[in-house]
Structure 1
Amino acid sequence: MEDQVATRVAIMGIIVEDTTSVEQLNELLHESGQYIIGRMGIPYRARGVNVISVVLDAPQDEISALAGKVGALVGVSVKTLFSNVTSE
């Protein structure tokens, strides 16, 4: 029997200030689509930013790697909150 990696439920909060990074952001999220439970994006036009929340159920390493890639995008900020909900 194959060993399964434990996963954690987490929420990733993303603020996009530079819309030139949106295409790259969407590509990164698409690549991690197997782990995404849901996502919600809110354009805050009055401030010229987009606020995105992404809920994931993934191995902690995958979540951290995605957050690192997202945070490296120009004009994009990200914070991740991990729950204590895990699977074995």
Structure 2
Amino acid sequence: METRVALLGIVIENKDSIEQVNMLLHEYRQYIIGRMGIPYEKRGVNIISIAMDAPVDVISALSGKIGRLSGVSAKAVYSKLPE
């Protein structure tokens, strides 16, 4: 299956959703290249960037599941070239 490299940006405003985000990321761990998390206490948010190499439908599914959580926003940016 064709894969794409993508960056998934996540902003968590509701601290009660952090565990659910981590569970979803664990579920998709086979597609994750790397992860960087930044707790921004001044604004009360957590910012996570996830580098992925996965089929487009997998990236989209993860982004959608995370984005539906309470107080969480997610957006994927895809590489222009396929595998």
Name the TM tier (shorter chain). Answer: over 0.9
Task: Indicate which of 24, 30, 46 corresponds to 1:34.
Answer: 30
SS in 2 for 1:46: coil
Q: CA RMSD in A?
A: 0.6
Alignment partner of 1:83 is 2:75: no
SS in 2 for 1:77: strand
Identity of aligned residues (%): 59
Structure ranking higher in strand proportion: 1
Task: Indicate which of 44, 61, 64 corresponds to 2:60.
Answer: 64
For structure 2, list consecutive stretches of 5 or more residues without a partner in the other structure. Answer: none
Q: CA deviation at 1:84?
A: 1.8
Query: How many residue pairs end up in the alignment?
Result: 83
Largest Rg, 1 or 2: 1
- Give the TM-score normalised by the residue count of structure 2: 0.97
2:49 partner letter: S
Provide runs of 4+ in structure 1 moved above 6 Å: none
Q: CA deviation at 1:15?
A: 0.2
